[in-house]
Amino acid sequence: MPDKVMIYIDGSNVYHSLKSIYGYTNLDFEAFTKKLAGKRQLVRVYYYNAPVDHTKEPERYKEQQTFFNRMRRIPYLEVRLGRLVYRNWPTEPAYEKGIDVKIATDILDHAHRDLYDVAILVSGDNDFADALQAVKDTGRHVEVALFGDAWSSQHLRDVADRAIRIDKTFMKGCWK
């Protein structure tokens, strides 16, 4: 029986990584997550992001809602939303609140409920290292999928059982 895999995607981290490395963001999430899971049984994918305020950024809100609705149609993918804080906006950009805690909570909760054998985190945020270690301490395996150079997010690489380098070779077949 193949390992059961759950994938946790930090949407903002993926978006900014794609934009800075490739210059575009038209990722085929279904193909991407299937490639991450490989021959293992993909149980579920969680995609985390924060919706923009429709009163402050109506055009961006509309585009984002269209994107979220497309994501919700992908089999076995669930969109989980945090919030954006608009302090001193538009002078300062809005920032996400609650996303990292949602991701860490879900990874740990799902491990303790025995819902997966392997968790794959798609994020380069080193703040997840302690949560990943706690998951490993339950006997489960943890993988991180990282964009960029081989030395990026070293702390995550050190904690993970396996680091998946998301580069041009990996991305073949993952674009729309």
CATH number reported for the structural domain that contains residue 42 in this entry: 3.40.50.1010
| Cα 102 from Cα 108, distance rounded (Å) | 10
pLDDT recorded at residue 152: 74
Predicted model pTM: 0.96
The Cβ of residue 119 has, within 10 Å, a number of other Cβ atoms equal to: 26
| Cα 57 from Cα 36, distance rounded (Å) | 33
Domain that holds residue 158: 4-171
Q: Is residue 43 included in any domain, yes or no?
A: yes
Strand runs (DSSP E) across 11-40, as ranges? none
pLDDT recorded at residue 148: 78
Average pLDDT over residues 74-89: 96
User: Model confidence at 124, in pLDDT bands (50, 70, 90)?
Assistant: very high
What's the domain count of the chain? 1
pLDDT recorded at residue 151: 63
CA distances in angstroms from 118 to 5, 40, 102, listed in the order given: 5, 9, 18
Average pLDDT over residues 118-125: 96
Instruction: Please provide the average confidence, as pLDDT, over all residues in the chain.
Output: 95
Q: Is residue 176 included in any domain, yes or no?
A: no
Strand partners, 78: 46
Q: Is residue 88 included in any domain, yes or no?
A: yes
Q: Is residue 107 included in any domain, yes or no?
A: yes
